[in-house]
A and B are shown apart, each in its own frame.
Chain A
Amino acid sequence: MRYAMAIDTKKCVGCSDCVVACQIENKVPTGYCRDWVTETVYGAYPQLELELRSERCNHCDNAPCVRCCPTGASYIAEGGVVLVEASKCIGCGACIESCPYDARYSHPDGYVDKCTFCIHRVREGLQPACVAVCPTKCMYFGDLDDPSSDISKLLKTRKYKVLAPEAGTKPQVYYLL
């Protein structure tokens, strides 16, 4: 099982519903967020192209945060999902320093917090909150090891990219182009 997410940059309108849904679902403290939306403008006027991306933890296959963690608080759960066990975390920040996506933060309570792919929802057969609320249905969550899943089919037929592949982390959030 390899959980992953695909996000269609052609359908995303940058409404930030995914961000709000995550904050409510996961009770993210005010001023913090586990996902965010970026806007990239390519080209020079008048030949401009806009790309919107909903970004979060990439649940990397080669996760530097898990490697650097001195206590084992950061670990890989089922489907390759990267999680943090708060009661093992000493708040040293090694994982935050090691993440090329700046996807982790220090929770006001001290431990490190991040996107969980809403594993508590996924275990109940639901979609992650961000995927579930997306009004343009531009986000897909599923199992890459299952060739019949929507995400597997999309990645077979569409062009895609991942963020900072040169960092060597093998990220698992795919952006459809």
Chain B
Amino acid sequence: MNEEIIISGRNIPHIDPHLNLWHWPIPVYLFLGGLAAGILFFASLYTILGKEKELPTAVKWSTFVAPFALVFGLFFLFIDLKHQWYFWRLYLTLRIESPMSWGAWVLMAITPLSFIWAAAYLRELIPSWDWKLGILNRFEQWVQGHRKLLAWMMILLSVVLGIYTGILLSAFNARPLWNTALLGPLFLVSGLSTGAATILWMSRHKEERKLFSRIDILLIAIELFFIVHLFMGFLAGPAVQLEAAELFLGGKFTLPFWGLVVFSGLALPAFLEWLELRGRKIPAAIPAILILIGGLAFRIIMVEAGEMTRYLY
């Protein structure tokens, strides 16, 4: 075996001995972005399908979570910037080849949309609510009259947001673990699943919970299918991707990934949801919390492990 070392002395912060630049705020941001994408996706989907009455949690109440998730997500993204006070530079250009650039623009569009969407349902939550300003009351009426139009915009933006959280990583060919086209769809499905889990957790309607248990089981099945294919791709891939896969197949991420993400974050909650559909009494919070923890753990592990995979040395 060849031995390769740096002899001029190099110990650059966050670069050596291996890249460790993106810390917890980035996976937390990716998680919150995926969660908001999931919630807004189902809200728009069932608005377009005209199911506001049957699925009030999906269309109305869960969407109050989305603006907070997006604002906190953006805050975490901001605190991980190293040259923070130049962040406005993001909005002076649109660079089509940079996922981060169009991600910034999508967030700029979907965040206010999510505020408007939830705010126009505030009166249904608090009947005595009054916006005090005439213009806001008129705007509220306009939003209520144009829900379908907003839903079409939001469904498109939420899919782009969900995929973007994965493509952000997969665009970096320098990190073999991330450099796979499956990452975009995988993060999208995972985000939709965390969104569905949140709706399931918040819902008080039996039929709605049943529907979202079914949706969640389907999403988890797709996610597991993608994960199997991800590793099949790595194992049939070049040396650098074989090394990346080894981190999860005997390496230091084996237990956290297969235990916390695949077993307790996907397989177990899917099984609990299936039991509930079969008539067993299982509090919806348990599978929902497991899925949310699994989704967060998945992103933390993917970011940290990906930074360790490399071409040289």
Contact = CB atoms under 8 A, between A and B. Distances in A.
A90 B83 contact: yes
A91 interface: yes
Given A19-B8, A36-B10, A90-B84, A101 B173 contact: no
Interface stretch (A70-78, A115-123, A153-161): A70-78
Contacts of A91: 81-84, 86
A105 B16 CA distance: 10
Interface residues of B, number: 48
B311 A100 contact: yes
Contacts of A97: 19, 21-22, 172, 174-175, 307
A138 interface: no
Contact of A69 (B22, B83, B87, B95): B95
Contacts of B104: 70
12 contacts: A14-B7, A36-B6, A67-B98, A70-B103, A90-B86, A91-B81, A93-B80, A96-B15, A98-B173, A100-B173, A106-B14, A167-B174
Interface of A: 14, 16, 19, 31-33, 35-42, 52, 64, 67-73, 86-94, 96-102, 105-106, 109-112, 163-164, 166-168
B8 A92 contact: no
B307 A102 contact: no
B49 interface: no
A110 B2 contact: no
Contact of B8 (A36, A73, A164): A36
B12 interface: yes
A111 B89 CA distance: 13
A31 B86 contact: no
Contact of A40 (B3, B86, B238): B3
B8 A31 contact: no
Interface centre among B3, B22, B86, by most chain A C-beta atoms within 10 angstroms, is B86
A68 B83 contact: no
B312 A100 contact: yes
Contacts of B99: 68
Given A33-B10, A37-B6, A68-B100, A105 B82 contact: no
A57 to B, nearest CB: 13
Interface string B145-164: 00000000000000000000
A67 B8 CA distance: 30
Interface string B271-286: 0000000000000000
A106 B6 contact: no
B311 A73 contact: no
Interface string B61-83: 00000000000000000001111
B135 interface: no
B86 A87 contact: yes
Contacts of A72: 93, 95
Given A64-B174, A72-B95, A110 B89 contact: no
Interface in B1-57: 2-15, 19, 21-22
Contact of B21 (A36, A87, A96, A164): A96
Given A68-B100, A96-B15, A110-B83, 15 more contacts: A14-B8, A16-B8, A33-B10, A64-B172, A64-B174, A70-B93, A70-B100, A73-B89, A89-B86, A91-B81, A94-B100, A97-B19, A102-B19, A109-B83, A164-B311
A115 to B, nearest CB: 13
A41 B2 contact: yes
